[in-house]
Chains A and B, each alone.
Chain A
Amino acid sequence: MSANSIYKPQNAFMQWMERRLPIAGLVYSSFVVYPTPRNLNYWWTFGGILTFMLGVQIITGIVLAMHYTPHVDLAFNSVESIMRDVNYGWLLRYLHSNGASFFFVAVYAHIIRGMYYGSYKEPREVLWILGVILFLLMVMTGFMGYVLPWGQMSFWAATVITNLFSAIPGVGDPIVTWLWGGYAVGNPTLNRFYSLHYLLPFVIVGVVVLHVWALHMVGQNNPTGVEPKTEKDSVAFTPYATVKDAFFIGVFCLFYAYFIFYIPNFLGHPDNYIPANPGQTPTHIVPEWYYLPFYAILRAIPSKLLGVVALGASIVLLAFLPWLDTSRVRSAKYRPLYRQFLIVFFLVVIGLGYLGSQPPEGGYVIAARFLTAYYFVFLLIILPLLGLFETTKPLPNSILESVLGEGVRAGASAPPASGAKV
């Protein structure tokens, strides 16, 4: 493959440039001839979709920031003025608020794909950990963005979430005061959240560069989990992956546009159209839908401190997946038991999401406890043990063989079996 990455421009200026700053060569080797497994399915387009959404959020966000006022007395009305008086302000804001939701739709699809096909396994551990860091950064950015319109849910979500830090023994309360910049959520809090909400997306861009760099070191995983062995196992990134990504970004945009233009407030909470009022607590404080599973975990545990620990662990543990999962086989396609447990795990997360939206009482709490238990049992017990006891299905010798179907024409190009069967 390395032969392909030699970039020899014909154009005199590009030749001159290439000897000084080989940026065209970098793009050429990373996004044109870069070999990508030929058997990737559409779950692999979410990386491109995420890049697209990050761009959408940054561009709409920068324009919104030109019109937004981060002050407790003015923030709500400045958002409303964007909706009413700024040219296409309603479009920018709905693009941005629904964009956050669809950013999370894409990242969850991306994570599901990574877990299903074992994309975190050797040699992709660092790639995966960078992904978990990106997810954490997204969670923080999304949360701070939700606070900015300074509606009732903004204010009370900020209060509830920052208060979580008060669970830390000893230094909890000083930390919360420090985060607030005062003795309650107020103007300093809104100002710093605005500042950080503007900063973090660019931190995300930086980590995305590392994420893509790490990806290009180790190459993409694929549905078989078998590494490409010959040239025939791969296709060039351009045009193959580019056109496929572009098509699916189009499909994704159809869903995104449906929400923006027809049900723009569906994913929001009506209370956020009520200006923030520190004197009046809403009946139910609920976060945005994409945090609900974690919110359910937090509330499932009776002790505040342990709840916060569980909340943190539920995300941080994901970074340790490469070591918690002891199986040598990557793809769930060849791991019948893992596949079952993993699908249950995904359903459990959806169930936790539903429970997170409900009041924390009665049957809901009991159900949330069971589902939280499964969440952690799966990660900490089932995953390590499965690798030891599970009988996996035979792997194909190569990606090409899996594409062609075993035994038909595979003999011609499949390299000799070299212990690929586990």
Chain B
Amino acid sequence: MNAHRTIVGAVAFAATLSFLGPLTAAAQEAETPPAQKWSFSGPFGTYDPEQLQRGFKVYREVCSSCHSLKLLAFRNLADPGGPDFTEAQAGAIAAGFQVTDGPNDQGEMFQRPGRLADRFPSPFSNDQAARNSNGGGLPPDMSTLAKARGYERGFPWFILDMFTQYIEEGPDYIHAILTGYEDPPSGVTLPPGANYNKYFPGHSIAMPKPINDGQVEYSDGTPATVDQYGRDVAAFLMWASEPKLDERKRLGFQVFVFLIVFTGLLYFTKKKVWHAVKHDPELLTPRPPTEYNRG
């Protein structure tokens, strides 16, 4: 009876709070990354192996010259729910990388071609070397990047996202950064060596525009545009961050079918057990199970 009033109150209250936002909004707000269509979104989403293969090509030919992918092993490329390379293909990719191994019997470290069990070698031997080659900025490792990036969704989206299952802020952000390079608007001066990106918080990004149209060749007729590269590499990085996504959603569906049936059965059991309490309350006496004698 008072529920309506309570709900109205709650909504009014939340609305009041959300208006406080603009009062404090920072001046240099970055543009919101536009939401892309991802094959892996939603309860039945799965990775598109061809897209992951294209994304891997972009990573290998462009990103990997500065960004490491330390947590990924070559064997992962042949794992189910991934880019779907065969083990032979993954082995060939591994062999194309030089990996430091050792020390050998002479106590020396040595280089050898990569194997399936190896993790992706990093482009720089350490963080200091990476900074030194990149004007002081450290290119972040990309193993968990797609889950480590996002942007402020704000009220009421952060609540609605729960129901729409919008959790692709990370890939959307990565795609946006790759497509967000522009000439700085007049009146904006950037620190030396910095670049202007409309989606980067603060707009001043150390990474120069990494990729241009036509830079990576696609053999399957997919358009070779920055927009497409961005989508493909973001999908690849999402897989690198969350390699068990396909398995998770598949198991989730099975768990849901089980839980709904099981909870439904419990509901009807409960209804039957409580029938006497609800419908003939006067007659009810506590009724222990029959295996036991009552004193």
Binding site for B on A (CB under 8 A): 1, 3-10, 28, 32-33, 35, 38, 77, 80-81, 83-84, 90-91, 94, 231-232, 234-236, 238-240, 243-244, 246-247, 250-251, 253-254, 257-258, 260-266, 270-271, 273-275, 283, 339, 343-344, 347, 350-351, 354-355, 358-359, 361-364, 367, 400, 403-404, 409, 412-413
Contact = CB atoms under 8 A, between A and B. Distances in A.
23 contacts: A8-B292, A81-B71, A234-B286, A247-B270, A250-B266, A253-B263, A254-B256, A261-B252, A261-B255, A261-B256, A263-B161, A263-B162, A264-B248, A265-B147, A270-B147, A275-B141, A361-B24, A362-B24, A364-B20, A367-B17, A367-B20, A409-B282, A412-B282
B251 interface: yes
Given A232-B282, A243-B266, A413-B282, A273 B249 contact: no
Consensus secondary structure, chain A interface = helix
A170 B141 CA distance: 43
B157 interface: no
Contacts of B274: 240, 243-244
Contacts of A250: 259, 262-263, 266-267
B260 interface: yes
Contacts of B167: 263, 265-266
A273 B148 contact: yes
Contacts of B155: 354
Kindly list the 10 A-B residue pairs having the minimum CB-CB distance in the complex, ordered from nearest: A261-B252, A250-B263, A6-B295, A273-B148, A362-B24, A363-B20, A363-B23, A247-B266, A273-B144, A236-B286
Consensus secondary structure, chain B interface = helix
A291 B141 CA distance: 30
Contact of B269 (A7, A243, A362): A243
B165 interface: yes
A395 B288 CA distance: 30
A91 B248 contact: yes
A233 to B, nearest CB: 10
Nearest to B76: A84
B114 to A, nearest CB: 18
Nearest to A273: B148
A235 B280 CA distance: 13
A90 B256 contact: no
Contacts of B147: 265, 270, 273
B295 A91 contact: no
Given A240-B273, A247-B270, A257-B259, 9 more contacts: A4-B295, A5-B295, A6-B295, A7-B292, A28-B292, A258-B256, A261-B248, A354-B14, A364-B24
Nearest to A267: B162
A243 B295 contact: no
A88 to B, nearest CB: 9
A367 B17 CA distance: 8
B243 interface: yes
B268 to A, nearest CB: 9
A248 to B, nearest CB: 9
A33 B288 contact: yes
Contacts of A264: 248
A5 B294 CA distance: 8
Contacts of B253: 261
Interface stretch (B5-13, B102-110, B181-189): B5-13
Contacts of B161: 263, 266
B26 to A, nearest CB: 8
Contacts of B17: 351, 354-355, 367
B294 A3 contact: yes
Contacts of A260: 252
B288 A238 contact: yes
A239 B269 CA distance: 10
